[in-house]
Amino acid sequence: MAGRRADVPAQSYTPAMAERRGAAQGDAGYTDLLGKRRVPKYDPILEAIGELDEATSALGIAKRAAREERTRRLIHQMQADLYQIMAELAFPPDHAQTLRITEEHLAWLDRTLAVVQAPFVSLMKFILPGASDGSAPLDMARAVVRTAERRLSQVAHNGALPNPHTLAYVNRLSLVLYYLARAEDAAAGVDFDLAGSPSERPEA
């Protein structure tokens, strides 16, 4: 997808970086974080990074499936922001690089939400995922983001997430994804599949 390339700081962190450093070093169930920290792979920070990595990949699938160019463009920026969050987590809590997500990131999400939510303000019922090819991956990515938020909440409550904007970003992101999914349904011209017991159960 064509578009402006996001600036990448000189020192960043992604799960792929850890893999390139030598997968065999993790055979005993430990891995490295920046700052020469050796931690078990079930460490809450690693759990959060792993869920964010999964969310970024799920967003990649949603980006490929989206009908709307706007959806693809917004998802691309969201993926870049999630990589910044993974980098924050990889640094020691007292490091300056743990403050990458700013109030402007939150303001951008709020502006985006206001636009994508507007056509669906009267929608008050839960929607079953899978109404269209474009919305189904977005709903899946939204669920993964919610899991990442729960993992990130544990890190924050443990006192290891010094940037308050980071958890707020992930929290708000899932709602934006929900309405982007509804926009994809609308672009596909399909009716929303409302949750609830059907009047008649289908037979096999």
pLDDT band at 112 (very low <50, low <70, confident <90, very high): very high
Give dist(CA 32, CA 36) in Å, integer: 7
2 vs 136, more confident: 136
Q: Check whether 1 has a pLDDT greater than 50.
A: no
pLDDT band at 201 (very low <50, low <70, confident <90, very high): confident
Where does residue 203 fall: left (phi above 0), alpha (psi -120 to 50 degrees), or beta otherwise? beta
pLDDT band at 8 (very low <50, low <70, confident <90, very high): very low
Whose CA is closest to 56, among 92, 17, 84, 22?
Answer: 84
Whose CA is closest to 131, among 188, 67, 52, 55?
Answer: 188
CATH of domain 31-188: 1.20.1200.10
pLDDT of residue 28: 63
